[in-house]
Structure 1
């Protein structure tokens, strides 16, 4: 892991850009000297790690005493897309324009993204836990499709917060039954393009004995800020 830049923010949080092989990422750590528990924060497909909503969540959590890391998955942010990726996205745009079913196109885009992203997240986690500023335990917050696979594959993750918006491939809907860690699931009740019943069925499928659903009125990007605060309290119960 090579750190390429760093700056101390007004709230005392240290923000550092890093590269790990071909993986670009950002790490935020609190101002305190003690090793901090870690939250892996994954954005939805296509958003860069510098997206303002993600950065605001990361900084808030870091100021609350967590180390927070985000990476750009292959084909996301500034990372190049393959010809197959570009074709799939063109097919998706065409299907939306023609008001055609899009599930199969989403399968062709999101499925490979999940398969590629999870090994990179696990490699990143190995590197992060070797840093003296990070002491674990580890939580996950963000993109549901990647989060399900990562929660199943990675025993070091002890709690997760999922955002219901975004397509979840059929393979991850089946894997949801294997997710047994404490779970906070955020649902926007009027999320355009993300069927509400599908999200409710997914919540029902999770195998966790402790799982909580928070549903708020509003569209895809309307998640209230107080859910970030509640998320920190959730992680406080399980990571601190």
Structure 2
């Protein structure tokens, strides 16, 4: 991991930009994190809009988490932001957008073409980044995953044993095969659902929540559209991670994905 810039934010949070195998990313650590006082880590998932566009929301989440003693980190998703274009993904995204704008049903084939290649490529990248984050002396684990793309969160929760809890942002563009993977998820879950999300099929989101195999799973539903997430919903998510990441022994070995 090559650090490309570093700055101390006004609340003491250390923000570092980095590249890892050509993939840009951001890492935030709270003031006081050190080799003698390592902190747990939350991976910040986000939609495929690019880190530059998502930065204001990501840094707000990072600051909120740092105030509770967590490091946070994120990476640029394949085909997004400053990474090379991915024509197949762009075509799939355009096809899906056209269908939604025309008020047509979105086919399973369109969802599969958009989401499955993204998950297959992004998850190993997240795991490589996690190796790098946990090699830093000031980050000791355990690890949580927070955000979307929800299918990436599902796959990570299944294949990555270092992730001990996940807070997922509900979305309906979920391939049917991911429902089978959801049944294999066993870590504690906190799922955020905006009840009136104009781009989300509420019933599909509820069906996915029902499919999760976790013994502990909580659905936090709020009235309002996609951008109307209330502040207290974020506070509830942080409390969830405080319960599950603090006082838990770190798991450092990398996942066996052979």
When normalised by structure 1's length, the TM-score is: 0.95
In structure 2, do the counterparts of structure 1 residues 50 and 129 end up closer, same or farther at CA, with 3 Å as the change threshold? Answer: farther
RMSD: 1.4
Tell me the CA shift for residue 59 of structure 1: 1.8
Q: Which ranges of structure 2 fall in alignment gaps of 5 or more residues? A: 247-258
Aligned with residue 88 of structure 2, among 60, 84, 91: 84
Residue 11 of structure 1 corresponds to which residue in structure 2?
A: 11
Aligned residues: 240
Indicate how the Cα distance of structure 1 residues 114 and 49 shifts in structure 2: closer, same or farther if over 3 A, else same.
Answer: farther
Alpha-carbon deviation of 1:50?
5.3
What is aligned with 2:250?
Answer: none
Counterpart of 2:216?
Answer: 210
2:157 aligns with: 151
Q: Given the alignment of the two structures, is residue 99 of structure 1 paired with residue 103 of structure 2, yes or no?
A: yes
The answer to whether the aligner puts 1:38 opposite 2:36 as a matched pair is no
Q: Name which of structure 1's ranges 91-100 and 17-26 shifts more when overlaid on structure 2.
A: 91-100
**Partners of 2:237 and 2:215 in 1: CA distance:** 18
Indicate yes or no: 2:27 matched with 1:27: yes
Checking the alignment, whether the CA contact within 8 Å between 2:13 and 2:29 is kept in structure 1 is yes
* Alpha-carbon distance in structure 2 between the residues aligned to 1:50 and 1:29: 21
* SS of residue matched to 1:184: strand
3-state SS of paired residue (2:7): strand
> Are 1:192 and 2:195 counterparts?
no
2-side partners of 1:238 and 1:124: how far apart?
22
Distance apart, 1:54 and its partner CA: 2.1
Is 1:179 equivalent to 2:179 in the alignment?
Answer: no
Shift of 1:140: 0.5
How far, CA to CA, are the matches of 2:52 and 2:121 in structure 1? Answer: 17
Structure 2 counterpart of 1:55: 59
Contact 2:50 2:82 in 1 (8 A): no
Instruction: For 1:85 and 1:113, locate their aligned partners in 2 and report how far apart those are by CA, in whole Å.
Output: 8
Distance 1:116 1:221 in 2: 28
| Residue 101 of structure 1: how far off its partner (Å) | 2.2
| Structure 1, unaligned runs of 5 or more | none
Shift of 1:8: 0.4
SS of 2:51's equivalent in the other structure is coil
TM-score (norm 2): 0.89
SS at 1:178 equivalent = coil
Query: Aligned equivalents of 1:239 and 1:50: distance in 2?
Result: 29
Contact 1:29 1:66 in 2 (8 A): yes
